[in-house]
Structure 1
Amino acid sequence: MTERARELWLVRHGETEWSRIGKHTGRSDIPLTAEGERQARAVGAYLAGRPFGQVLVSPLRRARQTCALAGYEALARVVPDLAEWDYGPYERRLSSEVRAEIPGWTVWTHGVPSPGETLDQVAGRARRVLAEVEAGEGDALLFAHGHLLRVLAACWAGLPPAAGGVLALGPGSVSVLGFETERRVIRRWNLAP
């Protein structure tokens, strides 16, 4: 992906019960809330049927629902590498609960114990998605998850994967990666349609 005009549009899925209260939601396949459905429709209105050369979606229900409600389901291809970080034993837990056991813990600085994924494993998946997008044609639209998309954006910009920790990303948000001359940049971030 070297053409300046090409962009990579990222959509974080809409709100779920767990994202609303801050529980780590990796591989648990939970649906959107009514607010999450509203956010997904707002993404569709924001994109207003904009054409994309490729539309990729996580296999998890909340991302697929967001894609469908935004109006891109018929064009989407499920990509397993777009699934959220596997939090292992920290799945369903609040960060504050983990910090009660491990002071100062964040997923970005301490990671998760096995059988969860390491940050490097998540970055490897993000880089595979970027390579797939680069091999395709035109602008790309991705429907996925907060932490995965934050790692992907850091990798896009040539930053260490842990730099994704400073890129807050709300449910139902839209972000755009692109180019400034020949340099990869984050053009827009965490927009709430």
Structure 2
Amino acid sequence: MTEQKKKQAELWLFRHGETEWSLNGKHTSYTDLPLTEHGREQATALAPVIAKTQFDLVLTSPRQRARDTAALAGLGNRAEVEPNLQEWNYGVYEGKSTPEIQAAEPGWSVWDSPITGGESIDQVAARAQQVIDRCLQHGGRCALFAHAHIFRILAAVWAEQPGVFGQRLALSTATVSVLGWEHGTRVITRWNAAP
């Protein structure tokens, strides 16, 4: 694979629509929650953006909320499940909000505190790198449907920063972000944009 071919890869990140837990700020990894009615509307609102763009590869997290977002946005029939796009495994913190966790563990942060029974940030960053490698190898525009933390870390890794840089990249539900190139350097060209 030539360097020129690798530079052609462009990653479009579509965060899934709202779920009951995302609405309430609860950490959601492996719990397979459906989209709320508003989340379904948000996912459908992505369709016009997607209809204007030709994608060469479509990947989705195995979680229902991401797969349903891809389907409602118009790419469900092309989406391949990519296990490395599943959300950060929060271990014992699954289903809890940061304020709830901090009430018992003052100063706790997902970005720099141990995740008992879950993944370290370095493990999530390694999964993100595998997704990036797959997209670089494939080339072209890649549509990815997944979750906030995996996308924030993936963007950091794309920009050749440590995974913790994702702490600086807020990401709302059902938004569009694009990772591309400028003069041969990997850059974030669009972030957390409404459709």
TM-score range, shorter chain: over 0.9
Q: Classify the secondary structure of the residue corresponding to 2:172.
A: coil
Q: Classify the secondary structure of the residue corresponding to 1:109.
A: coil
Instruction: State the match for 1:120 in structure 2.
Output: 122
Query: Which residue, 153, 166, 172 being the options, matches 1:170?
Result: 172
Q: Is the 8 A contact 1:111 1:119 kept in 2?
A: no
Instruction: State the match for 2:154 in structure 1.
Output: 152
Q: Classify the secondary structure of the residue corresponding to 1:151.
A: helix
> Runs of 4+ in structure 1 displaced over 3 angstroms?
1-6
One-letter code of the match for 2:33?
I
Deviation at 1:87, TM superposition (A): 0.4
One-letter code of the match for 1:64?
R
Change (3 A) 1:111 1:41: farther
Instruction: State the match for 1:187 in structure 2.
Output: 189
Instruction: Map residues 2-151 of structure 1 onto 2, 5 A cutoff.
Output: 2=4, 4-113=7-116, 115-151=117-153
Deviation at 1:47, TM superposition (A): 2.0
Q: Classify the secondary structure of the residue corresponding to 1:89.
A: helix
Q: How many residues end up aligned between the 2 structures?
A: 192
Q: Classify the secondary structure of the residue corresponding to 1:40.
A: helix
Structure 1 residue ranges without an equivalent (≥5): none
Deviation at 1:89, TM superposition (A): 0.4
One-letter code of the match for 1:97?
E
Report Cα offsets for 1:34-90 as digits up to 9, x if no partner.
111011011112222521110000000000000000000111110011000110100
Report Cα offsets for 1:76-113 as digits up to 9, x if no partner.
11001100011010000010011112211110121411
Structure 2 CA distance for aligned equivalents of residues 16 and 143 of structure 1: 15
Structure 1 CA distance for aligned equivalents of residues 36 and 186 of structure 2: 35
Deviation at 1:150, TM superposition (A): 0.4
Paired-residue identity, %: 49
Report Cα offsets for 1:99-158 as digits up to 9, x if no partner.
112211110121411x21110110111001111111103110000000000000000000
CA RMSD of aligned residues (A): 1.2
Provide TM-score, normalisation by structure 2.
0.95
Q: Is the 8 A contact 2:156 2:166 kept in 1?
A: yes
Structure 2 CA distance for aligned equivalents of residues 20 and 44 of structure 1: 22
Deviation at 1:6, TM superposition (A): 3.7
Q: Is the 8 A contact 1:2 1:182 kept in 2?
A: no
